[in-house]
Structure 1
Amino acid sequence: MNAQPLAYFNHAGASLMSASTVDAMVSHLHLETRLGGYGAAVHQHKALAAVYTHAAQLLGCDADEIALTDSHSRGWREVMNCLHFTPGDRILVGRSEWGGNYAALTHIAQRDGAVVETIPSTPTGEVCLTQLAAMLDHRVRLISLTWLPANGGLIQPAAHVGALAHAAKIPFFLDAAQAVGQMPVDVRSLNCDVLTTPGRKWLRGPRGTGLLYVRRGFLQALQPAALDHFSAPLTNGQYQLRDDARRFETSEANMAARLGLGQAIQEALAQGLDTIQAHVQSKASKIREALQGMPHIQNHDVGTQLSGLIAFTAQGLTSDTVRTHLTQQGIELAVNGTAFTPLDMRARGLTDVVRISPHTTTTDEEIARLLDAVSNLADLTP
């Protein structure tokens, strides 16, 4: 067993929580052992309400436009299932759309007779705004975009896509799973109608948490597929949908996890998203620059502006072999297969990539260990 401490480079998958985030959850669980789940929730009423306030501050919206979910996928799917299409309707996606979103969209399109079309990309990988503008007509019923794709450093021009969608009065769904917590987010300037993110990635929150933003003016068009007495309270003898985004929540939730998410959000806000982005990009640039000097390593990042996600392959070695070799040295990173971004991976002839994602907590010593281990992969090449 490797005696060195773990060097963690999978923050894009599930980041490491801070001690105070863990303490927030554990403290609440202890409270539940004394007061019971309901009593503890009442005791923590103000702290739980503050999660919405801080989430709204994080995303640049109002608290009533926020719902708390158990994942990005849950929030995205709950809103998506409110939409109904007719034969001939068009759904536009970027080539780097997250595989989970693409699978859901494909299923919905097959059910309703709609078609899913891919927005052409520029030579540098971003969606081509000129060609997107030319694609927009009365049959386009939705634009779905993954802002920062899972398989590399690309940052899509989300605000420009949002502007085109807004001008054409087309709903715009933004998957911000790799953006929230890594960089500043302002849903107003993005012109998105829906934005989703999990808590476990760059926010450094717990698994089983997520944020769903639904623009207030878009909410009234959405009727959730399933309701309970929380999402549709009994009022004057009738069940009436809530008039805020919490119509997508249910009466039951993991309050300890929510408080952990709230703590993580507060810490990100206190640190400053501009500061976080600068630190992450600095560390990622250092790693990329070093990898470019290794002849046995091929970098697979595209884009004119790069995020903290770094994708590469090693000549003559499978990605799983690379991960196993580095794991044995106490270095944790990820392998992404075709399922993560099927359209883009196929278009570029890739089956999988190794993914590195540093965070503000990543140290220079950890980066040095990583680069030394990747450099030594040359000795394993057949």
Structure 2
Amino acid sequence: MTATRSVREAVPGRHFSPEDIARVRADTPGCAKVTHFNNAGAALMPRQVVDAATRHLHLEADMGGYEAAAHAAESIEAVYDSAARLLGCHRDEIALVDNATRAWDMAFYGIPFRPGDRVLTSMAEYGSNFIAYLQVAERYGVKVDVIPNDEHGQISVDALRAAVDERVRVISVTHVPTNGGLVNPAAEVGKIAREAGALYLLDACQSVGQLAVDVAEIGCDLLSTTGRKYLRGPRGTGLLYVRRAVVDQLVPPVLDLRAATWTARDRYEMRPDARRFETWEANYAAQLGLGAAIDYALEWGLPRIQTRVTALAETLRRRLAEIPGVRVRDLGAQRCGITTFTVDGAGADQLKSFLAEQGINISVSRTPSTRLDMDDRGLDEVLRASVHYYNTDEEITYLVQALRTYA
């Protein structure tokens, strides 16, 4: 029987109490050193994550890498159980990979495209994904169609439904774009994909860990995400979800002895589960850190995390909008923990550096990351402040006061 981690039940109630926040911040050493509003880049790790990763590194140093992996085999396997709980799926539908880009690429390039196939995507699509669309279009004669936004600035469900035909091979959408706080209507997209018989690939890199994400409710066939962002895991970790019913339709672009078995001199057999998208060599210390991060999020409860993150972000938007010259740039009927803004007459890099001198971390998003959306809105760059549940109203006030000083 596969071992599972011991995870405490989520704290009762829907909101974080002051005692809860005190505990979260005590678990997060970085909170005492920096005001961190770059959680959509890489969140601050709790000590439980650091401890899980470093314990295994020490084990490798003490007994050897292979021996350490064998010693921790049950704990490593338990990461699949944690990830399945997080996404609401089966453990055999999970692949552990070294980053979200690798997860997304393994899924997308595993689709057997044919000339004339169509890829449908959104205006807010991430740059790396769109480059892959263009490459596949050149390589296989695939047509890439961008679905326009609705009045809220998110993918238009009506336009998507009207665009679907029998040539649509995949609907590929970014759940939360890198350059704003909108949340695309992923479940509505899923219904259309199922009706059309098209594969549905969801880039959830910015959403998993800050939103309650259930693959059954969304209806996606494939989902990619990272460990370093809102899950608060180590860099160099990622997850790929592959629905059981579609595994056999996909051929990973890379196979090795983890993904397949060499059954005869001229034959091999791919694994029948999502681990056909993994490779044999892995950073087990980082994977164990990822497992600890998932367990930590599950302990608090994703609905509770979503409630707090969303409320903090709305407070931040309201406070930013009160500053003369500051323009909040977020779209969407539903918004999340990412807040983007510009400051009249101020360059993004200069302002980011100024805030860094005050011990405040934010990020900058530029046109190449989401070219269609940025071009459409006439933006070259936006400042991005992304909150997490360990952030506080006092930290928001500190950021706002610093921006007022700069302005």
Q: Same fold (TM over 0.5)?
A: yes
Q: Alignment partner of 2:260: what SS? A: coil
Number of the residue aligned with 2:175: 147
Contact 1:85-1:109 at 8 Å conserved across structures: no
State the 1:235 CA deviation. 4.4
Aligned pair partner of 1:241 in 267, 270, 275: 270
Whole-Å Cα distance in 1 between the matches of residues 351 and 271 of structure 2? Answer: 50
Aligned pair partner of 2:203 in 165, 175, 198: 175
Please show how residues 298-337 of structure 1 align to structure 2 within 5 Å: 298-337=327-366
Number of the residue aligned with 1:362: 391
After the TM superposition, which of the residue ranges 197-206 and 229-238 deviates more from structure 2? Answer: 229-238
Q: Is 1:252 paired with 2:285?
A: no
Number of the residue aligned with 2:326: 297
Whole-Å Cα distance in 1 between the matches of residues 120 and 179 of structure 2? Answer: 20
For each residue in 1:77-98, what CA deviation from the matched residue of structure 2 results, as whole angstroms up to 9, or x when unmatched?
A: 0121122333332211110011
Contact 2:191-2:219 at 8 Å conserved across structures: yes
State the 1:114 CA deviation. 1.4
User: Measured at CA, do residues 332 and 119 of structure 1 come closer, stay the same or move farther in structure 2, by a change above 3 Å?
Assistant: same
Whole-Å Cα distance in 2 between the matches of residues 22 and 363 of structure 1? Answer: 23
Contact 2:112-2:251 at 8 Å conserved across structures: no
Whole-Å Cα distance in 2 between the matches of residues 351 and 165 of structure 1? Answer: 33
State the 1:311 CA deviation. 0.4
Q: Alignment partner of 1:303: what SS? A: coil
Aligned residue pairs, count: 375
Aligned pair partner of 1:285 in 314, 320, 323: 314
For each residue in 1:22-51, what CA deviation from the matched residue of structure 2 results, as whole angstroms up to 9, or x when unmatched?
A: 011111111111211111111111110000
Unaligned runs of 5+ in 2: 1-31
State the 1:187 CA deviation. 0.4
Q: Which runs of 4+ in 1 moved over 6 A?
A: none
Number of the residue aligned with 1:30: 58
TM-score normalized by the length of structure 2: 0.90
Q: Alignment partner of 2:249: what SS? A: coil
Whole-Å Cα distance in 2 between the matches of residues 331 and 302 of structure 1? Answer: 24
Unaligned runs of 5+ in 1: none
Amino acid in the other structure paired with 1:103? I
Q: Is 1:133 paired with 2:199?
A: no
Please show how residues 1-382 of structure 1 align to structure 2 within 5 Å: 5-235=33-263, 238-378=267-407
TM-score normalized by the length of structure 1: 0.96
For each residue in 1:260-311, what CA deviation from the matched residue of structure 2 results, as whole angstroms up to 9, or x when unmatched?
A: 0000000000010011111111111111111111121011000111110000
Amino acid in the other structure paired with 2:318? E
For each residue in 1:288-339, what CA deviation from the matched residue of structure 2 results, as whole angstroms up to 9, or x when unmatched?
A: 1111111210110001111100000000011112111111111110000011
State the 1:236 CA deviation. 7.0
Contact 1:280-1:358 at 8 Å conserved across structures: yes
For each residue in 1:176-205, what CA deviation from the matched residue of structure 2 results, as whole angstroms up to 9, or x when unmatched?
A: 011110011110111111000010000000
Whole-Å Cα distance in 2 between the matches of residues 226 and 332 of structure 1? Answer: 37
Whole-Å Cα distance in 2 between the matches of residues 313 and 358 of structure 1? Answer: 17
Contact 2:155-2:184 at 8 Å conserved across structures: yes
After the TM superposition, which of the residue ranges 80-89 and 62-71 deviates more from structure 2? Answer: 80-89
Amino acid in the other structure paired with 1:109? A
Amino acid in the other structure paired with 2:304? T
State the 1:6 CA deviation. 1.5
Contact 1:314-1:377 at 8 Å conserved across structures: no
State the 1:364 CA deviation. 2.7
State the 1:52 CA deviation. 0.1
Amino acid in the other structure paired with 2:320? L
Whole-Å Cα distance in 1 between the matches of residues 116 and 56 of structure 2? Answer: 51
